Structure 1
Amino acid sequence: MDGLATLADATRRAIFEHLVRRGPLAVGEIAGAFPVSRPAVSQHLKALVDAGLVTASSAGTRRVYSVNPEGVSALHRWIDARWQQVIDTFERAARTEGAVMSVSAIPAVRKTRTVPLGVEAAFDLFTARVGEWWPTATHSIHEEDVKEVRLEGRVGGRMVEVTTDGREYSWADVLAWNPPQRFVLSWHPNLEPEAASRLEVTFRAVEGGTEVVLVHSGWEEFGERGVVLRDNYEGGWESVLSRYTAAV
């Protein structure tokens, strides 16, 4: 990935970060912020432009540099994909060693639905538009007092409910975000969560639309209550997914 190699240089990386915070800027404005010559700054900017991380445009007699959102997005996707490979490799190794699953593990809740939508549309409805169909009256913390449900589409984001008085209550944290194929949440929809389970939803193109697979696992984290919780969610996800398919 050219972007990573380009940012390996400390000065070049500092120039790029300066553009993120202050840009768009002309060469002279950028050079004034660093203890290097203007020609050296120009060379660093050329490397950033060649790597697709920065764009250059003319403004009168000046050449103005800006961060290229498309280049940054491409770099972000590449990094996400590499991390996903690392995580997948770790999970396979952990299973081989018996560290993930054991004979005493509580089975995951697994639900599959096929919806007549393309993968991107199915993913968008489940995530960005979750507030349009989620049954807050029966599946939320504050039930009738919930005004909105929102899923923040990024690693580190949250799934939250917003009450009618504007307060936010977290249901989950986003562990993995790979649109439009997959997302993973650390699931803990309680005022004072004692533990968290793991919710993974994947989207795959099939004949007739998209296959949506929901896998809810990690019940062992709740100790003796794990089996009861798992059985409650077995039926609970049926109700929730019926609203999703109806929205389709």
Structure 2
Amino acid sequence: IGSGRFLYLSDINMNDSKYGANFGYNYDYHRDGISVKRYSDPEITWEKSAKTNFALEFTLFNDLNVTAEYYTERRKSILQQRTSIPASMGLWVQPYANLGEAKGHGVDLSLDYNKYFANKSWLQLRGNFTYATSEYMVYEDYEYPGAWWKQKVGYPTNQTWGYIAEGLFVDDNEVANSPVQFGEYGAGDIKYRDVNKDGKITDLDQVPIGYPKEPEIVYGFGASYGYKNWDISVFFQGLARESFWIDYNNVSPFFNTVDTKVVGNRV
């Protein structure tokens, strides 16, 4: 929730120019209005979590140490912003409430092999593997008639929704005979899939794409070898089942550069 940590306090904007008014002769005196940024709610509380862990640890052949763990977790009272409150309530903003629920499970495996030799050398091998995933069980969302894929229930808590690119428009004739898209576009631009078949590309055509933004699998392995007062070690680590999304605001040249000053031919 960012800086909104004090949800038991209301947040009022006492100088909102959007709701201001002009007074006086020729209306030359202006006063800003007041708006509500957040309603106070003393009932907001912490999330509640119930965890169950099963762990097993043993040693084989006096050299191999194995640690395995499996866990499950159920979280309730997840803080979410309401979406089902009708406009007839007359609220400035949608309030927050503890109404979400999610479940998760995962495994953690660790292997360590240690071997000492008679010539005063030693060898150590190690590896680890972690898998963790979670999904929403209860999530108050907008109603999407005919677009069930927009609902977050049943999907990972860090899932990303987006448009499916079918390729690039070949020519303007293909543009004219394709579903209407947003913004300015033409031949050579990305062609998006009309998922709900309504003849236009809207938010209802966004579907779950890729993996969650946080890795579901983390693994690593390494080795160390020593002889008397010398030793050398290597270790490798990797991630899997994760999708990384490029922010076009940061990588596209001359995009969103309203305040950029150009001097000569340099920015």
Mark the structure with the bigger radius of gyration: 2
- Whichever structure has more helix as a proportion of its residues is 1
TM over 0.5: no
TM-score, normalised on structure 1?
A: 0.22
TM-score (normalised: structure 2): 0.21
